[in-house]
Structure 1
Amino acid sequence: MTGRWLRRIAVAVVLGGTVLLGAASPAAAALNPPAHVVTAPSPPAPPGGPTGVNSTTGGATVGVQINGPNGKPSSSIVILLALTVLSVAPALLLMCTSFTKVFVVLSIVRNALGLTSVPPNQVLAGLALFLSLFIMGPVLSDMNHQGVQPYLHGDKSQSVAFHDGVEPLRKFMLAHTRPDEIALFVKAAKAATPATPQSVPLTTLIPAFVLSELRAAFIIGFVVYIPFLVVDMVVSASLMSMGMMMLPPVTVSLPFKMLLFVMVNGWGLVITALVASY
């Protein structure tokens, strides 16, 4: 009897718990709403076309302004041009100025004296550099006045400034270039003969100018070599007559050549001849 009542009570408790859980579920759902669903972000819109002050199609191109205020070139362009000139300065110095002839003549003078390393190459190069600046001073001044300054002040475009700035250098090279060298390179290029000297392109004029400078340098070097060669021959003959064949003639002739060079003011004569050749 007692066991039957216990089973009824247990069944009633289970049914009551089930009813209570069913009633509590909607209330809990109402009190605790589901978490917000996170969605992936939408892709960004593609960027629009570039726009610029020079655009003529409604913003499809970019305009680059290289001029500053008042039509003058900007500081960035000036710096870029300066770096470009500095990068090509060694080639311009060697090919388009008097540096080649001056340096070759000074080197021949040193060899004629019998001095292999005195003065050193740095001294010869420095002397040749400043002599070239002295010789090329008027040409560089004309290039600055006709090309560089008008461009910096915005008075000339790049092409006009370049043409006017190169013209003094072209005249200098034409004045010191032999027609035979120009004809040689025109023939080598299989090009038509220029109608006038002013129409010779720079690609032909520059190598022809270098060959002419080397030829003139060798002629001056030959004239410089003759007196020292005579001294060497006299010293060698004197040593032979005294039976001193084992003594190198160069060792004896070197002091006499240096003395002769100093007594006649050799450096002054050589530099005067170089400057006068232009």
Structure 2
Amino acid sequence: MLLRAKQSNPAKKWIAASGLVLKANKAALCFAALLAMTVVFFMPTEAFAQAINIDLGQDGDGTVTGRVVQLVVLLTVLSLAPSILIMMTSFTRIVVVLSFLRTAIGIQQTPPNTVMISLALFLTFFIMAPTLQAAYETAVVPLINEEIDEVQAFERGVDPFKKFMITHVREQDLRLFMEMNKSEMPEDAMEVPLQVLIPSFMISELRRAFEIGFMLFLPFLIIDLVTASILMSMGMMMLPPVTISLPFKIIFFVLVDGWYLIAGSLIRSFDPANVPIPG
């Protein structure tokens, strides 16, 4: 019995050692496989993508530095184009009037800001359609056909917007900025620089928008006063008059077809010759 026990112990040890060797071999194989996959996936290989060539000018077309500066200026103008167009169009007056309307009725979040801005943008596009068409025909089309360069296209494209702003700017506002700019009023209005014309046009638009907003407030203010007087006479002083008058202001605005009147008045407040209104 003792002899069999002594013989079985070496056999068990050999079997255990063989198992450890097999486990070590499996681990080594797994590590080798992972290493091979890593080498395959991350080893640099040839790329077959199309080459990108940026032409910054040939001989006779100006220096590379000049082309780079023109490219930077063009990208800057394109990034500021929405703000520039908003400042040089009817958008300012329209969006301020719509904001006054919502405040006068007493509904601060209805219609939502997205709806109000969208309505202002489309009304602006309708009013500015002749100006945009003129700028496209005189500046964009010749530039696409390579008849003029970028500087000439900018000068031609700005002229229709300058005519629009000069038509609606107040002379008093224009003189104010001309004096602050320390320059004399030119004989031709088209020679007024943009840095003077744009702020003059914007404050003129804000003034007209506030005038329209005052007229919008009057009927709704009367409804609030009448409602407050009735509540006071009934002894209901703790009840906010705005809560009672809001439905009456909404139904009043609907009955007089308020959106039709507001949109028509805003469009007709600009130059009729520049806005195609049927009838």
TM-score (norm 2): 0.70
Q: CA RMSD of the aligned region, Å?
A: 2.3
Pairing 1:54–2:60 present: yes
Q: Could you tell me how far apart the structure 1 residues matched to 2:59 and 2:191 are?
A: 39
Q: Could you tell me how far apart the structure 1 residues matched to 2:106 and 2:64 are?
A: 64
Alpha-carbon deviation of 1:134?
1.0
Unaligned runs of 5+ in 2: 1-57, 271-279
The amino acid of 2:227's aligned partner reads V
Alpha-carbon deviation of 1:64?
8.6
The amino acid of 1:125's aligned partner reads I
Match of 1:95 among 70, 83, 87: 87
Match of 2:164 among 172, 176, 181: 172
Alpha-carbon deviation of 1:167?
0.7
Q: Could you tell me how far apart the structure 2 residues matched to 1:65 and 1:129 are?
A: 37
Contact 1:98 1:135 (8 Å CA) reproduced: yes
Alpha-carbon deviation of 1:193?
2.4
Alpha-carbon deviation of 1:85?
4.8
Percent identity of equivalent pairs: 47
The residue correspondences of 1:8-157 to structure 2 (distance < 5 A) are 53-54=59-60, 81=74, 84-157=76-149
1:243 alignment counterpart: 235
The amino acid of 2:201's aligned partner reads F
1:232 alignment counterpart: 224
Alpha carbons of structure 1 residues 194 and 234: separation in structure 2 relative to 1, 3 Å: same
Higher helix share: 2
User: After alignment, is 201-210 or 116-125 more displaced?
Assistant: 116-125
Q: Could you tell me how far apart the structure 2 residues matched to 1:163 and 1:117 are?
A: 41
Q: Which has the higher contact order (CA 8 A, sep 6+)?
A: 2
Contact 1:105 1:218 (8 Å CA) reproduced: yes
Partner of 2:60, secondary structure, is coil
Q: Structure 1, residues 82-131: CA drift from partner, whole Å, max 9, x if none?
A: x5554112311331111111000000000000011111211111111111
Q: Could you tell me how far apart the structure 1 residues matched to 2:76 and 2:221 are?
A: 46
Match of 1:209 among 201, 217, 232: 201
Pairing 1:254–2:260 present: no
Contact 1:173 1:205 (8 Å CA) reproduced: yes
Q: Could you tell me how far apart the structure 1 residues matched to 2:257 and 2:77 are?
A: 38
Structure index of larger Rg: 1
Alpha-carbon deviation of 1:164?
1.5
The amino acid of 2:160's aligned partner reads P
Q: Could you tell me how far apart the structure 2 residues matched to 1:199 and 1:110 are?
A: 39
State the number of aligned residues: 211
Alpha-carbon deviation of 1:63?
6.3
Partner of 1:240, secondary structure, is helix
Alpha-carbon deviation of 1:154?
1.2
Q: Structure 1, residues 128-187: CA drift from partner, whole Å, max 9, x if none?
A: 111111111110010000011101101123332222211111000000101000001111
Q: Could you tell me how far apart the structure 2 residues matched to 1:65 and 1:200 are?
A: 28
Alpha carbons of structure 1 residues 244 and 62: separation in structure 2 relative to 1, 3 Å: closer
User: After alignment, is 90-99 or 124-133 more displaced?
Assistant: 90-99
Alpha carbons of structure 1 residues 192 and 65: separation in structure 2 relative to 1, 3 Å: closer
Q: Could you tell me how far apart the structure 2 residues matched to 1:171 and 1:251 are?
A: 47
Partner of 2:218, secondary structure, is helix
